[in-house]
Amino acid sequence: MGNFDQHYEAGKKYAVIAAGIAAFLALEWGATGTETILAAVVAGIYGIVGSLIPDIDHQDSRPRRTAGKYVSISVIIAVFALPTLSPEFVRGLGQFAHVFGASGDTLTIGSGVLLVSGVAVLLLGGNAFDSILTHRGFTHSLPFAFITGLISYFSIGIVGQTFQPIAFLDGEMGVIIAFAAAGGVIVHLVVDQEL
């Protein structure tokens, strides 16, 4: 059973391998020099994160604490930014609340739903997460590696829409990233002697 440092060291070694494979495949698939370097860097990052993420199921782990901070920050930003950045989404929440008897301006009602939901996630999310997962349970399995790969595949498309230099990784090239992340989870399982 590996500790954080062992997983991190194995993840770094794997990230170098994943980056090399990504660079080779990117060149084979006709990527430019810059795209090849970006594919290698992104595959390495996804690979090392994949090697650390299974321990998100342990309350005191670094990945869990880090994820908790990012989720908290994301929820707070979403509560305050969505009414401005995506008013139609917030109005949709308000229209949904109208079904349950809420009345008033849909944007105002939707903002209230968003605020209450955000507070609930901040107060109860960690405990709910703990009650669902046990340490070395589902997140230490091959199905989790597969799901991590799928999430990575779709996330790279979303990130590419925001950060144009990696937009080329969407689609076929995204498979490289998916395999890098899934492989990282498998590296974690090997270090834990679960494979």
134, 157, 184 — which closes off a domain? 134
| Together in a domain, 163 and 190 | yes
Going residue by residue through the chain, which has 195 residues, state the pLDDT in tens, using 9 for 90 and above: 778 899 999 999 999 999 999 999 999 999 999 999 999 999 999 999 999 999 888 878 898 888 889 999 999 999 999 999 999 999 999 999 999 988 899 999 999 999 999 999 999 988 888 778 777 788 899 999 999 999 999 999 888 888 888 999 988 899 999 999 999 999 999 999 887
pLDDT, residue 58, reads 83
Q: Are residues 12 and 46 in the same domain?
A: yes
Same-domain status, 28 and 122: no
Please give the pLDDT value at position 131. Answer: 79
Quote the domain boundaries for residue 120.
63-134
pLDDT for residue 161: 85
My answer on whether 16 and 39 are in the same domain is yes
Last residue in a domain, options 83, 102, 134:
134
Same domain, 49 and 80: no
- Check whether residue 107 and residue 151 sit in a common domain: no
Structure tokens given for 195 = 């494979």
Identify the DSSP state of 138.
Answer: G
pLDDT at position 155 is: 92
Q: How far apart are CA 134 and CA 112, in angstroms?
A: 33
* Alpha-carbon span 44 to 113, nearest angstrom: 39
- What total of structural domains would you count in the chain? 2
DSSP string over 45-58: HHHHHHHHGGGGGS
Given its phi and psi angles, is residue 149 left (phi above 0), alpha (psi -120 to 50 degrees) or beta?
A: alpha
* Helices 142-162, 33-52: crossing angle, 10 deg rounding: 140
The verdict on 78 and 108 lying in the same domain is yes
- Say if residue 139 is in the same domain as residue 176: yes
**Where is the domain boundary, 110, 134, 158?**
134
- Read off the pTM: 0.79
Q: Maximum Cα–Cα distance for the chain, whole Å?
A: 58
